[in-house]
């Protein structure tokens, strides 16, 4: 459950596992407690003052598109700090307003910003639309092409994404390198993906800005997926040293404590303290998984209910459908609702991930043959993501295809750290029966 969220937090993540370290405890509260206790530096008073300043500028010069862009950037930063999704809706409105007063390349810049914001909102078709519009409004194709790539990858348009990567080749560009890294990851070449991300990070390491923090956190993710857990942990600590407010790094450390060190209590303490820092419901997914691992059924149910109650609100506009599908199917046995959401997701972006969710609904409902048909047609051989490999294995096992099931379970077992202890435990149970 949480694993799915963990790998979707950033668009540049590496999947799979190529090697593992010897089992040893890595996380230590003394390393990170000061960051966990750190009071967030985002101040609503300062934000309110800044909003008032730029709003006043806009009122004085209503065609002042630069002031509108400044206000939009402020709202975007507020989302990053607080997780309040309504800020993203305001960002969209502001950049569209700014576009009324510009033309040519200036319009393209706003459209690129709109595309990036749409990806944060999980409105990937809209992101692609904005990116193509940006491309039409400027002779400079590099930035728009990269946004086309981003949207294409999210929509499962991998041939289009590949063409964009080929047409924008620039090994001196950070923006290009991180996207090429993702593309190599998509093709299953984790070693190349890591090497490219390392090169990209070297370009921004000395900047100590949000881009550098993002790159280092993503690199820490990738080390973890490659089984280099100590390097992953050190990477998260390095990010926190530069930016004590970078909560994602603390979540990464919580995963190390839980999935590698078998210290769920330590992970629980970290995530519990992060719950109030951001308004997004994501933390409840991990809290539910931790409760499940500790066999605390009451706490698990409480956190699942808290997540569902928040995630299904209209303001999220389907952002959390993939997680709701799994919960409706697994926890509530509401197969009609799960199937309806899954079909909506497949229609919006027909990727191996969305098709695996649809197959999983049929699997949970007991329609194993239909689940296998979907897996074989739309998922198998099209993704190296461990959660999809695991689902494929379960579905083959349900169809009494033990040979294929065993092969997929063994492949999923190699990604035990990324899948988490609960899935790993289930994999071992299956393998003992095949």
The pLDDT confidence band at residue 9, using thresholds 50, 70 and 90, is very low
Q: Look at 11-15, 86-90, 92-96 and tell me which has the smallest mean pLDDT.
A: 11-15
* Side-chain half-sphere exposure of 284, counting CA atoms within 13 A: 21
Length in residues, the chain: 434
pLDDT reported for residue 43: 54
Residue 352's nearest CA partner among 319, 316, 377 is: 377
Query: What share of the chain has pLDDT > 70, as a percent?
Result: 93
Cβ pair 90, 96 in contact under 8 A: no
pLDDT higher than threshold 60 for residue 11: no
pLDDT higher than threshold 70 for residue 12: no
pLDDT tens, position by position, 91-145:
999 999 999 999 888 899 999 999 999 999 999 999 999 999 999 999 999 999 9
pLDDT tens, position by position, 266-321:
999 999 999 878 878 999 999 999 999 999 999 999 999 999 999 999 999 999 99
pLDDT higher than threshold 60 for residue 16: no
Locate tokens 């950049």: which residue? 95
pLDDT tens, position by position, 138-188:
999 999 999 999 999 999 999 999 999 999 999 999 999 999 999 999 999
pLDDT reported for residue 38: 73
pLDDT higher than threshold 60 for residue 428: yes
d(CA 106, CA 68): 13
pLDDT tens, position by position, 330-362:
999 999 999 999 999 999 999 999 999 999 999
Q: What is the pTM of this model?
A: 0.91
Residue 1's nearest CA partner among 409, 284, 319, 348 is: 284
pLDDT reported for residue 41: 58
Residue 97's nearest CA partner among 114, 83, 85 is: 114
The pLDDT confidence band at residue 1, using thresholds 50, 70 and 90, is low
Determine how many CB atoms are found less than 10 A away from the CB of residue 347: 9
The pLDDT confidence band at residue 366, using thresholds 50, 70 and 90, is very high
pLDDT reported for residue 212: 97
pLDDT tens, position by position, 193-233:
999 999 999 999 999 999 999 999 999 999 999 999 999 99
pLDDT reported for residue 410: 98
Cβ pair 420, 392 in contact under 8 A: no
pLDDT reported for residue 104: 85
d(CA 300, CA 291): 5
d(CA 80, CA 279): 11
All domains of the chain in start order, with CATH: 170-245 (1.25.40.10), 263-314 (no CATH), 320-434 (1.25.40.10)
pLDDT reported for residue 44: 59
The whole-angstrom distance between residue 394's C-alpha and the CA centroid of its chain comes to: 24
The pLDDT confidence band at residue 394, using thresholds 50, 70 and 90, is very high
């Amino acid at each position: 459950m949480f694993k799915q969220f963990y790998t979707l937090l950033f668009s540049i993540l590496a999947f799979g596992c190529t090697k593992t370290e010897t089992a040893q405890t890595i996380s230590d509260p003394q390393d990170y407690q000061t960051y966990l206790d750190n009071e967030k530096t985002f101040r609503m008073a300062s934000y309110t003052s800044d909003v008032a300043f730029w709003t006043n500028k806009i009122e004085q010069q209503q065609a002042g598109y630069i002031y509108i862009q400044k206000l939009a950037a402020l709202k975007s930063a507020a989302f990053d700090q607080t997780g309040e999704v309504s800020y993203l809706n305001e960002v969209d409105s502001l950049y569209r307003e700014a576009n009324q007063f510009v033309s040519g390349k200036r319009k393209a810049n706003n459209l690129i910003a709109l595309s990036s914001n749409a990806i944060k909102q999980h409105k990937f078709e809209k992101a692609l639309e904005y990116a193509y519009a940006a491309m039409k409004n400027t002779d400079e194709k590099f930035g728009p092409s990269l946004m086309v790539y981003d949207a294409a990858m999210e929509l499962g348009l991998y041939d289009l994404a590949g063409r964009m990567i080929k047409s924008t080749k620039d090994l001196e560009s950070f923006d290009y390198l991180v996207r090429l890294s993702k593309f190599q990851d998509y093709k299953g070449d984790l070693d190349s993906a890591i090497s490219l991300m390392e090169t990209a990070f070297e370009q921004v390491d000395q900047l100590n800005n949000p881009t550098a923090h993002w790159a280092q956190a993503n690199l820490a993710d990738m080390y973890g997926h490659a089984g280099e857990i100590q390097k992953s942990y050190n990477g998260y600590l390095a990010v926190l040293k530069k930016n004590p407010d970078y909560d994602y790094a603390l979540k990464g450390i919580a995963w190390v404590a839980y999935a590698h060190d078998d210290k769920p209590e330590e992970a629980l303490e970290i995530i519990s303290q992060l719950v109030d820092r951001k308004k997004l419901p994501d933390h409840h997914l991990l809290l539910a998984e931790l409760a499940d691992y500790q066999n605390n059924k009451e706490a698990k149910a409480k956190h699942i209910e808290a997540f569902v109650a928040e995630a299904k609100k209209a303001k999220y506009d389907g952002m959390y459908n993939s997680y709701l599908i799994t919960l409706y199917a697994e926890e509530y046995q509401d197969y009609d609702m799960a199937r309806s959401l899954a079909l909506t997701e497949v229609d919006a972006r027909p990727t191996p991930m969305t098709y695996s969710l649809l197959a999983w609904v049929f699997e949970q409902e007991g329609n194993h043959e239909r689940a296998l048909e979907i897996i074989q047609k739309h998922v198998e051989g099209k993704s190296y993501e461990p959660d999809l490999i695991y689902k494929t294995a379960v579905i083959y096992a349900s169809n009494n295809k033990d040979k294929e099931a065993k092969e997929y379970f063994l492949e999923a077992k190699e990604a035990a750290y990324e899948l988490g202890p609960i899935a790993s435990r289930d994999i071992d149970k299956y393998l003992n029966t095949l």
